[in-house]
Structure 1
Amino acid sequence: MTSPTARMVAAGYDRLADAYLDRFGLSAVRQRWLNRLVAALPRKGSRVLDLGCGAGIPVARDLALLGHDVVGIDGSAEQIARARRNVPTANFTVADMTGIGFNAESFDAVCAFYSITHVPAADQPGLIARIARWLRPGGVFVASLGAGPAGDWTGEWMGTEMFFGHAGEAASLSQLRDAGFVLRESGVELQDNEDVAFLWIAAIKPQG
């Protein structure tokens, strides 16, 4: 069952479907981390899960254009409708990322750009552990997580009610290690398209 928080986030992004892409569709910071993800993929046709895919631009689109098998998940039906139009070769599903299940070792990579920060801090360790299970050995996880004071926040954002959650940088890195990930890169970076910073991470699920 979808949580009230996830329903709030989905409803907010339904209302913001076009405005969000207009406002945040371009980011040099996100592009750098997407490039790191692409460089880590083992082959053309790698299977990649895009958690919080939004309208599919630019992440799912760029991955699909490179010949990868992209699966996108988002709680917003309006965003998924746009993603299906924008990236017809990818597979998109309306779902809460904290509730969806995939078989173990289903993906070569998982990315989550600006999406885990919409999950309550208390639910983030469980989600990270599931991401680790979904990845094949040697698989890569690239994501933006919250930076700054830990906690959950609900309020007005871009004219709609929205929720954000953050476990704290030290706690987030600890959760990744607890899930079995080995950090390849991590760092707090200020966005180039808004006055906010994220903890960016690239982590590997070890072989064997």
Structure 2
Amino acid sequence: MSEGSEAFLEYGTLVPDRTGQADAFDAIGERYDDAFPHKEGQIAAAKWLAEELAPGSRVLDLGCGTGLPTARQLVAAGHRVLGVDLSPGMVEQARRNVPEAEFRAVDLAELRPGGPDGVGEFDGVAAFFSLLMLPRDEIPYALRLVHRLLRPGGLFALSMVEADLDDEEIPFLGHPIRVSGFLRDDLLRVVRDAGFEVVGEDAFAYAPATTGAPPEHQLFLNCRRA
């Protein structure tokens, strides 16, 4: 990718609309982990990331939620973790759950590797069900931002719910949130177009432990920055 295409990677041409998204997760609070107690796919994807990275690698947990299980899992494997989430309430829980990691309440669109508020570069990034909170048109920008935040050859663990949705409002644990999704082949195309090699994939049928959230088909992609 040429230096001249750098502008495409910036969020500056977008005006992200997060209306109500953080408020919903602030209100959900600790009920989130109670509603989603079985996270075999997420644990397996984070295990791949943790084991493939060199000891002591720097990892970004993008959309860290409560810090469980991913940030705790990565810290336990000896990695240095920065978790970011739009919801200040989730970040406060993450700080309590995983005090060994660093957490920030920040919109992913504001992340930059350099500059006064830059977060630096990472050896690995985990984004488990965080990009589905974005409109479809924004997801390629987010993926290219992850590409920029990763060092050459860096690893990226991504999960999405397989669904043909674009910024559609759904009830989630008693609160409305907006979600997007792709069918499998479309997701693979978008990820590869953002500059990633997909080195592994898995899928899980998942039924949350509450009738407030419908069953879902989860896609997990193990990726490398090409």
TM-score, scaled relative to structure 1 = 0.90
- Counting only pairs closer than 5 Å after superposition, residues 16-165 of structure 1 correspond to structure 2 as 16-41=28-53, 43-103=54-114, 106-165=121-180
Equivalent residues of 2:84, 2:104 under 8 A apart: yes
Mean Cα deviation higher: 55-64 or 170-179: 170-179
Instruction: Give structure 1 regions of 4+ aligned residues with deviation exceeding 4 angstroms.
Output: none
Mean Cα deviation higher: 141-150 or 54-63: 141-150
Pair 1:172 & 2:187 matched: yes
TM-aligned CA deviation for residue 105 of structure 1: 7.2
Equivalent residues of 2:41, 2:203 under 8 A apart: no
Equivalent residues of 1:190, 1:196 under 8 A apart: yes
Equivalent residues of 1:105, 1:133 under 8 A apart: no
| Structure 1: 5+ residue stretches without partners | none
Equivalent residues of 1:146, 1:169 under 8 A apart: no
TM-aligned CA deviation for residue 192 of structure 1: 5.6
Q: Deviations over 1:82-112 (max 9, x none)?
A: 1111111111110111332224971010001
Q: Give 1:196's match in structure 2, choosing from 216, 221, 224.
A: 216
Look up the SS of the partner of 2:111 in the other structure.
coil
Provide the identity percentage: 30
Equivalent residues of 2:128, 2:159 under 8 A apart: yes
Task: State the superposition RMSD in angstroms.
Answer: 2.0
| Structure 2: 5+ residue stretches without partners | 1-13, 210-214
Equivalent residues of 2:50, 2:79 under 8 A apart: no
TM-score, scaled relative to structure 2 = 0.83
CA distance in 2, matches of 1:146, 1:168: 9
CA distance in 2, matches of 1:118, 1:142: 17
TM-aligned CA deviation for residue 38 of structure 1: 1.3
Number of residue pairs matched?
Answer: 204
Equivalent residues of 1:150, 1:167 under 8 A apart: yes
CA distance in 2, matches of 1:19, 1:193: 12
